[in-house]
Structure 1
Amino acid sequence: MRNKVISALAGAALLMGGAAAAQAQDALARIKEAGVMKVGTETAFAPFDYIDAGEHVGLNMDVFAAIGEELGVEIEWITLDWAGVLPGLEAGQFDVVAGPATITAARMERYRFTPPIAEATVALLKSAKDDSITKPEDIAGKVIGSGHATAQLAQLEAFGETLDPAPETKDYVSFNEAYADLAAGRIAGVANSLPNIAFVAQQRPEIFEVVAPFGTKTYFGFPGLKDDDHASLMDAIDAALLKMKADGRLGEMQQKWFGQTFETPDAVTEPNI
């Protein structure tokens, strides 16, 4: 009987020790042990993430494939609408967000951002047949769309307040829906980041045309959690991105997906918005 009690106590001690060891691991250690990093994103933000002929493609796919190689792990993609991506991160559904998201002062209070991967300055997309819009100020009094809960929508609304009459803003769950409404003539323009609308206009030049940027110069980064548990993971992702930037791989990916490269700082400490 005594031997059974000792054996049971030893087993319990091993279980408790294993649980304590698991608790002691931080996010990076858990990811490396599992061999998988979960990445949350949407798939309606071309050319960062989108579906082409049924396949998930875009800059983010290439960037995170390279980050996975640097960390020695596989990437597991979890996709949902943008409005649910940042709440999903906070709920622990994934380890980091591919998004990407415009780096803003408000977001930096809540999330830790990686080094910028591209410029995010807001510009306007209009119909190639619409001669009434030749500059951003021409959207006064018109209906302009943008993405729900995005920095692009916030900048559109702020810019609209400087015009008389102010444009009517319409927010969309997906930018693809906004582009469809623009092509159908239901709205006069779409406010999105310059890389995004330049890509869309390049794909369909007979339908869309880019108007000069009107927003404050900003940058895209990948958001993660800023707690101690995720610090080493974000450090590792930052190091991987800076290595890719230094050896030219990031620039090659920008050229592939945007048709141009962007000069970006190694970190954003004081966002312009």
Structure 2
Amino acid sequence: MSLVTRIATAAILVAATLGSASAKEWKTVRVGTEGAYPPFNFVENGELKGFDVDIAKAVCEKMKVTCTFVAQDWDGIIPALLAGKYDVIVASMSATPERAKQVLFSDKYYNTPASFIAPKDTKITETTPAGMKGKVIGAQGSTIHSSYLEDVYAKQGIEVKLYGKQDEANLDLANGRLDAILADKIMLMDWLASKEGACCGFIGPEYKDEKYFTPVAAAFRKDDAGLAAMFNKGLAEIIADGTYKKINDKYFPFSVY
């Protein structure tokens, strides 16, 4: 072996050694979720539960890691990830291009449309900006739904109110302080089936504009690509072996994938 070949081989070995040494070995993963977005994530008897939580637990099992869960208010959920409060967000976060500038997204784990709801005695006959003229409409802030309302409705002079939590918007609708709400249709179905949601019902079409209503994925820090790859592998496995369907069927009478 020539001197040049020996030097090149040694350099390759050193690089490989450094690479393996620097790669993080994940044994415990901290999962951030909101805990205020039923049926996807909520708190019951002091414990985080819901579709997001069950999906995360199933993927963690495939990843062979121990997962712990952290509740975080929605408007600070990405900053807390970047600050190291947890390692991954599994909280019904849509994988938008704007968010992708800050975080690394996994493959999608569900995709559902948005819809408006309004009081059952509403006089709204169409949900276009023209049909909503003079109305006050709401959404949870820092979501794809608020972005859509701000871009499409507020620019047409429609008053848009944003809330820190979805429950706060729902309460204002039930109490007559809003004329309509735009949110994830599946989440709204859960609320409409409750005693508090009996006031209201769906109006207008489903909204699926891919510019705004992108699929839901888990979010990671950009330097944790290895963890994201592990998550994607685990997600593919629970889809393939039927675990995903069992979780889906626990919460919904149709596929949300």
TM-score, normalised to structure 1, is 0.77
Q: Residue in 2 aligned with 1:180? A: 171
Tell me the amino acid that sits aligned with residue 115 of structure 1.
Answer: D
Q: Residue in 2 aligned with 1:26? A: 23
- After superposition, give the CA deviation of every residue in 1:42-94 in whole Å (9 maximum; x if it has no partner): 11111111123544210012111111211222221111211111001111111
Q: Does 1:158 align with 2:154?
A: no
In percent, how many aligned pairs have the same letter?
Answer: 26
Using a 3 Å threshold, how does the CA distance of structure 1 residues 144 and 215 change in structure 2: closer, same or farther?
Answer: farther
Tell me the amino acid that sits aligned with residue 200 of structure 2.
Answer: F
Aligned residue for 1:261, secondary structure, equals coil
**Which residues of 2 match residues 59-74 of structure 1 at below 5 A?**
59-74=51-66
Q: Residue in 2 aligned with 1:259? A: 253
Q: Residue in 2 aligned with 1:118? A: 110
Q: Does 1:239 align with 2:233?
A: yes
Using a 3 Å threshold, how does the CA distance of structure 1 residues 255 and 139 change in structure 2: closer, same or farther?
Answer: farther
Q: Residue in 2 aligned with 1:141? A: 134
Using a 3 Å threshold, how does the CA distance of structure 1 residues 181 and 161 change in structure 2: closer, same or farther?
Answer: closer
Using a 3 Å threshold, how does the CA distance of structure 1 residues 170 and 60 change in structure 2: closer, same or farther?
Answer: same
Q: Is the 8 A contact 1:123 1:215 kept in 2?
A: no
Q: Residue in 1 aligned with 2:76? A: 84
Q: Is the 8 A contact 1:140 1:160 kept in 2?
A: no
Q: Does 1:131 align with 2:122?
A: yes
- After superposition, give the CA deviation of every residue in 1:84-118 in whole Å (9 maximum; x if it has no partner): 11001111111100112111111223221112122
Using a 3 Å threshold, how does the CA distance of structure 1 residues 260 and 125 change in structure 2: closer, same or farther?
Answer: same
- After superposition, give the CA deviation of every residue in 1:99-155 in whole Å (9 maximum; x if it has no partner): 12111111223221112122143221222x233134322333211111121121001
Aligned residue for 2:60, secondary structure, equals helix
Runs of 5+ consecutive residues of structure 2 not aligned to the other structure: 1-17
Q: Distance in 1 between matches of 2:95 and 2:166?
A: 19
Q: Is the 8 A contact 1:122 1:216 kept in 2?
A: no
Q: Is the 8 A contact 1:145 1:170 kept in 2?
A: yes
**Which residues of 2 match residues 50-65 of structure 1 at below 5 A?**
50-65=42-57
Aligned length, in residue pairs: 232
Using a 3 Å threshold, how does the CA distance of structure 1 residues 150 and 118 change in structure 2: closer, same or farther?
Answer: same
Q: Distance in 2 between matches of 1:192 and 1:224?
A: 24
- After superposition, give the CA deviation of every residue in 1:9-41 in whole Å (9 maximum; x if it has no partner): xxxxxxxxxxxx9x94434x0x31xxx210111
- After superposition, give the CA deviation of every residue in 1:163-192 in whole Å (9 maximum; x if it has no partner): 5xx321111110111111111111112111
Aligned residue for 1:139, secondary structure, equals coil
Q: Distance in 2 between matches of 1:134 and 1:248?
A: 42
Q: Residue in 1 aligned with 2:182? A: 191
Using a 3 Å threshold, how does the CA distance of structure 1 residues 179 and 103 change in structure 2: closer, same or farther?
Answer: same
TM-score, normalised to structure 2, is 0.82
Q: Is the 8 A contact 2:220 2:228 kept in 1?
A: yes
Q: Which moved more, 1:63-72 or 1:213-222?
A: 213-222
